[in-house]
Amino acid sequence: MPTLCRPAVWVPEHTISMSETLELTRRVHADHAKLPLVLRLIANTGVEKRHLIQPLADTLEHPGFEARNRTYMEEARLRIPDVVRQALESADLAERDIDVIVFVSCTGFAMPPLTSWMINKMGFRNETRQIPIAQLGCAAGGAAVNRAHDFCRAYPGANALIVACEFCSLCYQPDDSDIGSLLSDGLFGDAIAAAVVRGSGGTGMRLERNASHVVPDTEDWIAYEVKETGFHFRLDRRVPGTMSVLAPALRTLADAHRWDVSELDFYIIHAGGPRILDDLCRYLDVPSEAFRHSRATLTDYGNIASAVVFDALGRQFDEGLPEGAQGLLAGFGPGITAETSLGTWGSRDGRAVPGRRISTAGKAED
């Protein structure tokens, strides 16, 4: 059974705090007609700090789409190798053991894809398959897990590498002043994540079933307008309410597997914002602490797009789980799309995965 192993996550050294974000918004958009609302929405995201691929002064400049995409390519090539090697080491594999690379990103563009560069420069076999995914936004983390799972089922014993590279700050548009754009300016952060899905063996989430769900007639609710200046993020105010539709889809997936989605042992959920997490808790009838790892990612890094689920999963590894624990991983994004998987926690030797002990309240204890 394919196993999603411990991920590796990297964030840049440059940071911006919530207080700095609010002060910047007050200064840059002092004449905005709805500034109090914008400030309240940003403050309510629960984000304390975000990491940026460039210093803040450089982030606020707009040298043009060409220059920004050049920065994306340079930084991706510089940072990806170390993150990938950490993920491979955690899975007890080497580059030559990988049969397919699933690469997800929505914040830069490359053709040929960065998977080709990785195969040429990092020691992967020339026969390694490539699955670049560029247009699923935040849902791409869940989609990457599902496509890796599908590949390993189609080719028993194969191993898949997932890489999520998101430099959301490179999409900052200083002239966009709609509420959705300003909220995103205070919500998104930068990160790279990598994880291995082993076709056999390994320690982590043993993937058992996956599904996709698209909410009808919502394809323009999360979108990019592509202009000369690059990607302009568009966010419809109705997006937070989509959990009323997506929660039943998650329940249907669990029901098909004869699991109760309200009684699982762990949940790895994309942290698009606190409203998303709060509503999903309510609709799935689970306590708030069930999503503690997703909330911690949001607090520490902001919304890091497709990398969120891997950071939240890494926090679950740190906490530990007993052998056989049942759980769900879900990413949400443009479409409106949900990419969801179910799995059982397991280790190579059949013992509990190391970590801190978990109390009955769902809090980690030393």
How confident is the model over 45-92, as pLDDT tens digits? 999 999 999 999 999 999 999 999 999 999 999 999 999 999 999 999
The predicted model gives 32-48 an average pLDDT of 92
Q: Which pLDDT belongs to residue 352?
A: 53
The predicted model gives 292-305 an average pLDDT of 96
Pairing of strands 266-269, 326-333: parallel
Span(s) in the chain for CATH 3.40.47.10: 3-198, 204-348
Q: Which pLDDT belongs to residue 354?
A: 54
138 is an active site residue: yes
Q: Which of 272, 276, 271, 307 is nearest to 292 (CA)?
A: 271
Q: Which pLDDT belongs to residue 356?
A: 38
Any idea of the CA torsion for 166, 167, 168, 169, to the nearest 10 degrees?
Answer: 170
Q: Among 114-128, 194-208, 219-233, 289-303, which is the least confidently predicted range?
A: 219-233
Q: Where are the beta strands (DSSP E) in the chain?
A: 3-4, 8-10, 14-17, 49-52, 100-104, 129-133, 160-167, 190-198, 204-218, 222-227, 230-235, 266-269, 326-333, 335-346, 357-358, 364-365
pLDDT digits (tens, 9 = 90+) for 228-262: 888 888 878 888 788 988 999 999 999 999 999 99
Under the banding of pLDDT at 50, 70 and 90, the label for residue 363 is: very low
Q: Which pLDDT belongs to residue 73?
A: 97
Candidates 5, 138, 168, 171; catalytic one: 138
- How much is the pTM? 0.91
Average pLDDT, the chain: 91
CA distances from 195 to 36, 101, 102, 250 (A): 41, 10, 10, 23
Under the banding of pLDDT at 50, 70 and 90, the label for residue 365 is: very low
Higher-confidence position of 348 and 175: 175
CATH annotation of 3-198: 3.40.47.10
We find that the CATH architecture of domain 204-348 is 3-Layer(aba) Sandwich (3.40)
Q: Which pLDDT belongs to residue 349?
A: 54
Q: Which of 364, 299, 307 is nearest to 87 (CA)?
A: 307
